[in-house]
Structure 1
Amino acid sequence: MDEKYFIEIENIIRKNLDERGMDRINLPGEFKKGVKDLLKSSTVFIVTGFVIRDTLTGETDGPIGAISLASALENLGKKVVLVTDKYSKEMLYNCCMVKHMKTPIEVVPYNNAEEFCNDLLIKYNPSHIVGIERPGRAMDGCCYSMRGEDLSDLVPNTDILFEKSKELGITTLAVGDGGNEVGMGKVTSFVVNSVNKGGQICANTATDYLIVAGVSNWGGHALVAALSILSHTMLLHDSITEILLLESMLRAGGVDGCTKKPTLSVDGLSLDENLQILERLRRIVEKALNKQREKIVAV
């Protein structure tokens, strides 16, 4: 895959990072290495779901990126397991129905979360674990919203999966946009120094690879775009499917994480703004695939 495509994809999803002070985070080569490692996976856990206290339901950022990636990996012959909590499970079920996926969904309970997570690792023996917009525990053991709201009494601890992975030799990757998501322990100093309330909210758990995006769904789509180019096939769904996914999440109680309202928006950004990012990523994939076909014809 031409180096320029990785760079173009990364530049697209970095839009809006300055809104949260995340624009100073720069991990050269991280995206490329993470995607190539993911392509070698056999069984992948995708952990997602971020609860909004006011509604006691999940937000619209995270599940779409998770579903996008899960679908792509399954099309590549990988086994995928979606992992979430009770607040986002119905959203994921609805999204799977939209995409006609039969991906297993494991719901981590609040009590006995450690035992449950350990059992999951034994049951599925994953080669890779990916977090997409999943709350991570901060240094004080609590997990927070971007506003500094303590969510620890609601969110089951799924950091366990990532921590245990280090012992078991499982590769980990995370996507986040605000500093309070699992994986951000890799860039603690940036979050603490640049993000509002960063010292309080910064997630402590680091992952092998970290993708920072303006919206976490975009990070999931970016991974799919790169996998599409590497595998020579379009794996990224279209705008119509994106709208259907958003609508299905609203029916399950999903809300915009910033406005806390059940609207066709993500992180305070309109439907059009989100669709523009998806379409830009699709255009890069189409350009790359056309280039690949031209080379084959020329030979």
Structure 2
Amino acid sequence: MATPAARVKAMEIACVFSVDDYKAYAQLGPVIDGELAMGFKYSGSYCGRNIEKIYQKAVQHGRAPSLFEAVTTLQKASHVLIITGFFVLHQKGAEGPHGDLGGCETDGPLGALAVLRALCARGVRASLFCDVHNGPVIKKAYDSMMEHFREADEGFWSRLQSHSRCLPFVSAEKPLPEAAKAEVGDKEMSTLEERSWCLSARLGDALRDAWGDNAGRVDALLSLERLGAPYRNIRGRDIGQHTEPIDCLYPLVECGINEECRAALAEMPTAPFRRLAHVAEDAKTLGVGDGGNEVGMGRVVSVPGCSELRPDGAAFAPLASNGCVRSCDNAVLGTVSNWAGSAIEAACHVLWPAQVDYVPKMRSIGSSVEENLLRAIMAKPTVAVDGSHNDRAMSVDGMNFEPHHRELYDYLWHLAGVTAAATAKRPRIEV
């Protein structure tokens, strides 16, 4: 029988490598706990976004992403702030805060809620960050998940009510809140620094409004598919105006990527923003991403050889242009960030006994909670879109839910030992 570590490693590998990618990777040397690992046919080079190369280079330079370590970090937390939301400009969305049409990308909310479920089931409080750009989609996803479990599993629905909050929407725009004024006084600031102070103060208010005196400070931060400084999308376009700078709560890389941006942000230490945001100064940080421009991905993309990588296609930017300068304590990579979030949920099922067993009710009437949530957030008025093809329905990162995403979710739960959710299309694995 495979060990828990081997099952979790197989999940990690499936999110990053296609089958052929993994065969090539394994030829470089033995993979620890890799006896179950085989990759997943729609991962890695199938999508042409270099996540398998980033993973390999990070391992070679001693910064191996680790699903196992991410779960271990979460086990020590009492209150986790989960951050997601990647704003996409498109003509279908509602008018945004600056008058631009757009909405949240479909990659992010589903993975963030997977982590939230795993935490709540184990007695950890989880707060879901919402900003004024992405908040409508994130709240719609949260509300739809709550409705799913209210009908499917009332016991777990009650646990979600007691242990999670979808926070009020926060803005980074002026005027500067009084709490921030008390911190900065008459100091001259850049626009980004002022926005960071505004956001931190309002996040602290949002946490207190949501929890009262019950939760205490956030002691772990998990960011999933959230754009970080220098705030450039996959094409290298600066969308900082549409991105609230929640990454100010994350540490900077020491060197290796976007040095000019990193040096500028070094003038803005993290600790004061955390104090104002009701986050512990020693809070642990986790970053989940699929391209390298997401919060926390500086940990892996700052290693030698990553800066010149760019996704397939001349229209896309190299990481030297858009690679994130924010690092983290633990990184988890996925071809799709939603997949990595679901891998964290499935890995928790293997490594960390739940107080409430909600997993059997993840499906109802033949559909999955992930499918239900994707349909809900893509509907009007929220209109989340596929970041690659904004004219597609039921699609994430250029891949339709059926079969690409469903098969991956089924495989993760199969590895977790939840045989009722396993797909018959995968080879049978003894776990």
Shift of 1:49: 0.2
In the TM superposition, what whole-angstrom CA distance separates every residue of 1:76-114 from its partner, at most 9, and x where no partner exists? Answer: 111111113223212222222222154232433131442
Letter in 2 for 1:115: C
Shift of 1:52: 0.5
The TM-score normalised by the length of structure 2 is 0.62
Question: Is it true that 1:256 corresponds to 2:386 in the alignment?
Answer: yes
Q: In the TM superposition, what are the counterparts of 1:54-203 in structure 2 within 5 Å?
A: 54-55=90-91, 56-100=102-146, 101-102=160-161, 103-111=165-173, 112-118=195-201, 120=203, 123=208, 125-138=217-230, 143-163=231-251, 164=270, 168-187=281-300, 188-189=302-303, 190-196=305-311, 197-203=318-324
Q: Which runs of 4+ in 1 moved over 4 A?
A: 121-124, 233-236
Are residue 243 (structure 1) and residue 356 (structure 2) matched?
A: no
Q: Gaps spanning 5+ residues in structure 1: where?
A: 290-299
Return 5+ residue gaps in structure 2 as ranges.
18-42, 92-101, 147-159, 174-194, 209-215, 252-269, 275-279, 312-317, 421-431
Structure 2 CA distance for partners of 1:120 and 1:89, relative to 1, 3 Å: closer
State whether residues 182 and 206 of structure 1, in contact with CA within 8 Å, keep that contact through their aligned partners in structure 2: yes
More displaced 10-residue stretch of structure 1: 163-172 or 61-70: 163-172
The 3-state SS of whatever aligns with 1:97 is: helix
**How far apart, CA to CA, are the structure 2 residues paired with 1:186 and 1:245?**
30
Corresponding position of 1:228: 349
Contact 1:229 1:288 in 2 (8 A): no
Count of aligned pairs: 285
2: CA distance, partners of 1:131 / 1:195? 22
Provide the TM-score with structure 1 as the length reference.
Answer: 0.87
Partners of 2:6 and 2:167 in 1: how far apart?
A: 36
1:20 corresponds to which of 41, 49, 70: 49
Deviates more, 1:264-273 or 1:114-123: 114-123
2:130–2:139 Cα contact (<8 Å) kept: no
Deviation readout 1:253-272 (Å, 9 max, x if unpaired): 10001102351010001112
- 1:235 positional shift: 5.3
Q: Which residue of 1 aligns with 2:80?
A: 44
Task: Tell me which amino acid in the other structure corresponds to 2:323.
Answer: C
Letter in 1 for 2:400: S
Whole-Å Cα distance in 1 between the matches of residues 297 and 243 of structure 2?
A: 17
Task: Write the deviation string for residues 245-288 of structure 1: whole angstroms up to 9, x where unpaired.
Answer: 00111122100011023510100011120111101011111269
Q: Which moved more, 1:101-110 or 1:118-127?
A: 118-127
- 8 A Cα contact 1:46 1:66, kept in partner: yes
| CA distance in 1: counterparts of 2:104 and 2:223, whole angstroms | 15
RMSD: 2.3
Give a deviation string over 1:159-204, Cα, whole Å, max 9, x none. Answer: 1122436981110001000111011111223531323421101010
| Higher radius of gyration, 1 or 2 | 2
Task: Give the aligned partner of residue 9 of structure 1.
Answer: 11
Please identify, of 4-13 and 96-105, the stretch whose mean Cα deviation from structure 2 is larger. 96-105
Deviation at 1:215, TM superposition (A): 0.1
**Could you tell me which residue of structure 1 aligns to residue 396 of structure 2?**
266
Structure 1: how far apart are the matches of 2:51 and 2:310? 7
Which residue matches 2:38? Answer: none
Paired amino acid for 2:378: L
How is 1:268-283 mapped onto 2 (pairs within 5 angstroms)? 268-272=398-402, 273-283=404-414
Q: Is the 8 A contact 2:342 2:409 kept in 1?
A: yes
SS of 1:20 mapped into structure 2: coil
How far 1:223 sits from its partner (Å)?
A: 0.4
Matched to 1:104, the amino acid is C
Q: Matches of residues 200-215 of structure 1 in structure 2 within 5 Å?
A: 200-215=321-336
* Contact 1:17-1:177 at 8 Å conserved across structures: no
CA distance in 2, matches of 1:263, 1:288: 29
Return the alpha-carbon distance in structure 2 between the equivalents of residues 29 and 81 of structure 1: 24
Find the residue that maps to 1:116 and give its secondary structure.
helix
SS of the aligned residue for 1:182 comes to coil
Cα distance per residue 1:37-79 (max 9 Å; x no partner): 1122100000000000224100100000001111221111111
